[in-house]
Chains A and B, each alone.
Chain A
């Protein structure tokens, strides 16, 4: 049988087999199927320093499918600015051909058709190959992990992050910063961080009681590479106790703390830093704003909002690099640092096409060893997708995975309305694909996954939607938390993203009756991922598994219940 690698490398005559959408440019697709590892890794080594950035892996050890968003709305000064550009506009902006490997990697159109041609993405054994190849060209390249690494899968949950620590340690990072890691609880975080053979950085991680820097997380670390004195400053996710359950890590306080960031930059410059790199989990728009306020940062390696950009964005003298999520991309940034300053850069966002890049055998074996104790549980098939049904999450509003989860909550928990968190992680499933237990955990796994059932008044539901909408659409990025809109089932609404908080959400409708939501009336609401301590209910992955098992084949009605205006 022809393997997918051969298939891609030998060019494909039968591309039309996968067509039928009339949207992509299939002839060109066929021509461009000749994709090789050498092409993906091709890089003319430049300057004297190399940075390798991975971020938001969300515990995806193995290759997956990941559909990029079709809806990613920018507000205020970021309206229409990257990363708030999707689909054809994105391809036009970067000169990407329809149906090309870059189109598949970076945009959503024709996703399932292209996925069948180009295959899965990611896999840390493939990432290892890319890192090794960069290190072959530049042995002292710095590998920096932007965090959201120890969260997001069955095995990560069962091992409390140990599987990810074991595999990442084999890749030999030089530093890391944090977000979802803290949802393992502060004791477990401390235990893992104390054992790390690399720096755990966060200039904005503070002791909550004393409001002074937490001792476990230094603000920065110096490296001497290519004769250049480099300072890497860590910036953890600023809104951890707000977006995630603060009761799980009550000892810590975060915040953007851009004034302290400036102090740290000044401090490392005074100590002779010739290159200042910020390893950030701020989210892209927050990083842009911070780059405009803090002077002296050369490179921000940006994480959290899961954006993948083929070119860095320049703010003043700072370049901001966004490297995607779920192990789908690795960024390589080569820098020319002379006379104590950054003179130039060369950058490549490397898509990890897992059928093109040869897995590193050692890391493959290590990954399989992490999974071996759980392999029967992981691979058990619970259901499958219908022939026209892709399951995905990423986007500002409901994805199909969310619709399925909300359906599960409504039917299994006998609710009128379902709420599901607007997280940005969670791989995609193609049409006609088996859904395994692992797949379900990939989109639900967390340490506070209990599915609650409660009564909410119409008024409170409105408050909830307005509150979350402001976390996404506040025109000042510093007030955004970097998640997407809360997903809803059984409920329709209209949102005007240009309005202030309190005025964005109107026309709330109970879908099962078609009636307007009555502020004074009480509704049965099921949801999960509550940040409140003591939440009770079955685990969300069990709820979703039971629902999928009953359905057998998943085929969802298109969801048109959210009307978006002002975008």
Chain B
């Protein structure tokens, strides 16, 4: 049997460590604050981080996204245009077979989704993708 994602989930074979963001203070933290807290102010480059998101959301209430990196210890995902930008932080252990995670997020409108990875060597890299949320209709 070919191992499809459906089967993988049914088999309960997922080996990801998924953790929500630590609780912030009552008021939603801004994306700048969240990034600063994650990186400790370190420079963010580009490199081993991949973010997959649709160009146009089929449904802004549940937008599938995926992040992956071969060398990430943690990946922070932010929806920059949401009232509460924090989406998730994925943490990967040393023994993780695949450092990839996917989830569905809610987007308040057209905006950039950003993934910042803390790599094993302590450096930070970033990928971003504009996801358009449209009211639809009128396709040729």
Binding site for B on A (CB under 8 A): 179, 208, 210-212, 237-244, 246, 253-256, 259, 283, 304-306, 421-425, 463-464, 467-468, 470-471, 474, 476, 478-479, 481-484, 486, 501, 529-531
Question: In the assembly, what is the distance between CA of A482 and CA of B140, in Å?
Answer: 6
Is the CB–CB distance between B58 and A425 below 8 Å?
no
Is the CB–CB distance between B58 and A254 below 8 Å?
yes
Is the CB–CB distance between B135 and A467 below 8 Å?
yes
Is the CB–CB distance between A306 and B140 below 8 Å?
yes
Residues from chain B with Cβ under 8 Å of A474 in the complex: 132
- Closest B residue to A258 by CB, please name it: B55
Residues from chain B with Cβ under 8 Å of A254 in the complex: 58
Given contacts A423-B139, A470-B132, list 8 more A-B pairs with CB under 8 A.
A238-B55, A239-B56, A243-B138, A253-B64, A421-B138, A423-B140, A464-B135, A486-B137
Is the CB–CB distance between A486 and B138 below 8 Å?
yes
Partner of B58, one of A242, A422, A468, A478: A242
Question: In the assembly, what is the distance between CA of A476 and CA of B130, in Å?
Answer: 11
Question: At the interface, is chain A mostly helix, strand, loop or mixed?
Answer: loop
In the assembled complex, the CB of B26 is this many whole angstroms from the nearest CB of chain A, namely: 32
1/0 contact trace for B98-140 toward A, CB 8 Å?
0000100000001000000000000000000010101111111
Is the CB–CB distance between B52 and A259 below 8 Å?
yes
- Interface residue B59 (Cβ < 8 Å from any Cβ of A): yes
Is the CB–CB distance between B137 and A243 below 8 Å?
yes
Is the CB–CB distance between A242 and B5 below 8 Å?
no
In the assembled complex, the CB of A475 is this many whole angstroms from the nearest CB of chain B, namely: 12
Is the CB–CB distance between A237 and B138 below 8 Å?
no
Residues from chain B with Cβ under 8 Å of A471 in the complex: 134, 138-139
Is the CB–CB distance between B140 and A242 below 8 Å?
no
Q: Could you name 13 residue pairs across A and B whose Cβ atoms are closer than 8 Å? A: A210-B4, A210-B6, A241-B58, A242-B57, A242-B139, A243-B136, A423-B139, A464-B135, A467-B135, A471-B134, A479-B132, A483-B138, A529-B137
Partner of A243, one of B6, B59, B102, B139: B139
Question: In the assembly, what is the distance between CA of A242 and CA of B139, in Å?
Answer: 8
Question: In the assembly, what is the distance between CA of A231 and CA of B135, in Å?
Answer: 37
- Interface residue B83 (Cβ < 8 Å from any Cβ of A): no
1/0 contact trace for B53-95 toward A, CB 8 Å?
0111111000010000000000000000000000000000000
Question: In the assembly, what is the distance between CA of A241 and CA of B52, in Å?
Answer: 19
Is the CB–CB distance between A481 and B139 below 8 Å?
yes
Is the CB–CB distance between B134 and A470 below 8 Å?
yes
Is the CB–CB distance between B137 and A421 below 8 Å?
yes
In the assembled complex, the CB of B11 is this many whole angstroms from the nearest CB of chain A, namely: 14
Residues from chain B with Cβ under 8 Å of A479 in the complex: 55-56, 130, 132
In the assembled complex, the CB of B112 is this many whole angstroms from the nearest CB of chain A, namely: 13
Of listed B6, B58, B102, B110, residue having the most chain A CB within 10 A:
B58
Binding site for A on B (CB under 8 A): 4-6, 52, 54-59, 64, 102, 110, 130, 132, 134-140
Question: In the assembly, what is the distance between CA of A421 and CA of B137, in Å?
Answer: 7
- Closest A residue to B9 by CB, please name it: A210
Q: Beyond A210-B5, A246-B59, A479-B132, is A531–B137 a contact (Cβ under 8 Å)? A: yes
Partner of A211, one of B64, B132, B135, B139: B64
- Closest A residue to B104 by CB, please name it: A211
Residues from chain B with Cβ under 8 Å of A464 in the complex: 135
Residues from chain B with Cβ under 8 Å of A467 in the complex: 134-135
Is the CB–CB distance between B58 and A246 below 8 Å?
yes
Question: In the assembly, what is the distance between CA of A237 and CA of B56, in Å?
Answer: 13
In the assembled complex, the CB of B76 is this many whole angstroms from the nearest CB of chain A, namely: 22
Question: In the assembly, what is the distance between CA of A124 and CA of B117, in Å?
Answer: 56
Question: In the assembly, what is the distance between CA of A330 and CA of B139, in Å?
Answer: 23
- Closest B residue to A424 by CB, please name it: B140
Is the CB–CB distance between A242 and B52 below 8 Å?
no
Residues from chain B with Cβ under 8 Å of A484 in the complex: 138, 140
Is the CB–CB distance between B139 and A482 below 8 Å?
yes
Is the CB–CB distance between B138 and A423 below 8 Å?
yes
Residues from chain A with Cβ under 8 Å of B138 in the complex: 243, 421-423, 468, 471, 481, 483-484, 486, 529
Residues from chain B with Cβ under 8 Å of A305 in the complex: 140
Question: In the assembly, what is the distance between CA of A211 and CA of B6, in Å?
Answer: 9
Question: In the assembly, what is the distance between CA of A243 and CA of B130, in Å?
Answer: 19
Residues from chain A with Cβ under 8 Å of B102 in the complex: 211
Is the CB–CB distance between A478 and B55 below 8 Å?
yes
Please give me the 4 A-B residue pairs with the lowest Cβ-Cβ distance, nearest first: A243-B139, A424-B140, A483-B140, A421-B138
Question: In the assembly, what is the distance between CA of A454 and CA of B60, in Å?
Answer: 24
In the assembled complex, the CB of B62 is this many whole angstroms from the nearest CB of chain A, namely: 10
Residues from chain B with Cβ under 8 Å of A481 in the complex: 56, 138-140
Q: Beyond A244-B139, A481-B139, is A255–B134 a contact (Cβ under 8 Å)? A: no
